[in-house]
Amino acid sequence: MKGQVHLMEYVLLSFFVLLIIVMLTFFLTGWQMSSIGSEKTRVIYNKAEFLMRAFANSPYINRNTYKEGSMFEDVKLLSITCENLQKLYGTDWYAEIETIEASESCTEENFPLCGKWSYCKKEGESITFELPVNIYRVVTGKVEPAILKVGLYR
Amino acid sequence: MKRRLKGQTSMILIVLVIIIFMAIGIFLLISSIKPVNEDYYNLYAHNLLLTVLRTHTGYGGECETYASTLACAYMKPYRGCGTSECRNLSYEITPYLIEKIIKPNLDYCLVIEPEEGMQGEKLVYGPRCDVVLNKRAKWTANEKILQYGANLNIKFFISEG
């Protein structure tokens, strides 16, 4: 009887030690997987932020005299296409510029009485950054505020 | 005696295991906390200030742009712009302009003051400036306006509401 009790104590102890090892293994594996996931998200965030800065300062769409960038010419915004921009910035991203006054999408028919330009937008989950920018209206010479949204699809 | 000691050893081991798991749990929780993206918000503050300063107000004359309106509000507060005076107009259009652009979760405060070494009052714009200025976590953008032969310092603060 005493021997059996001693044996049971050792069995219980061994069981707990094994349980600790198994649970530690699960925890460390889970932590490693979440670290990889976080790293992936961080890379995507950095890329989306870079894309936003590059777009905001691109001489392709900015007015020439504004060296600090973020002053887009409406005529240039109308003339560029998703394919043009994909040659510069790659694929799997989108950009939208919308003035605070008008939200009608710009086409050749309603230009310049419109205030929204959209490039490479498609369905899907994305990480998006917003930035205030200006739109220079070539016809009137006026400057309007707008919001630039740049997103990277996951 | 030996049996009681063995029983105590098992209990101590169990308590140690529980403490280890709690420590691991706390460590994982702390590692999962994401810090705020400082670079992005600094850029956002700078671009927001630059955008509003360059915007045309539609009033023309001394108040053609928001920047010139602020300069007029500070240096020539009673000069007429449209149907209003410069200073009153600046207080009217500031919330209209900034609140249409700024993210809904952010508060702002705009402060105009003379250049260093010059004396003069401060003009403050923003519905919750006292809250924004007292927050430790806020982002700042600075610009200067040169008008009427003087430099004005523009300080713009944003914080999470």
The segments of chain B whose pLDDT lies below 70 read 1-7, 31-36
Position of tokens 């003051």? B113
Q: Which of B21, B37, B101 sits opposite A145 (nearest CB)?
A: B101
Contacts of B52 in chain A (CB under 8 A): 132, 145
Whole-number pLDDT of residue B18: 79
Residue A13 lies in a domain: no
Q: What is the DSSP letter of B61?
A: G
Residue A131 lies in a domain: yes
Residue A31 lies in a domain: no
Taking the CA of residue B34 and the nearest CA in chain A, the distance in Å comes to: 9
For the cut 60, the answer to whether the pLDDT of residue A119 exceeds it is yes
In this prediction the pTM is 0.81
Residue A101 lies in a domain: yes
Q: What is the DSSP letter of A100?
A: S
Taking the CA of residue B119 and the nearest CA in chain A, the distance in Å comes to: 30
**Distance in angstroms (rounded) separating the CA atoms of residues A76 and A141:** 14
For the cut 80, the answer to whether the pLDDT of residue A96 exceeds it is yes
Contacts of B20 in chain A (CB under 8 A): 20
Domain extent, residue A124, equals 38-153
Contacts of A143 in chain B (CB under 8 A): 54-56, 65
Percentage of chain A exceeding pLDDT 70: 100
Residue A12 lies in a domain: no
**Distance in angstroms (rounded) separating the CA atoms of residues A134 and A138:** 12
Q: What is the 3-state secondary structure (H, E, C) of B95-156?
A: HHHHHHHCCCCEEEEEEEEECCCCCCCCEEECCCHHHHHHCCCCEEEEEEEEECCEEEEEEE
What ipTM is given for this predicted complex?
Answer: 0.80
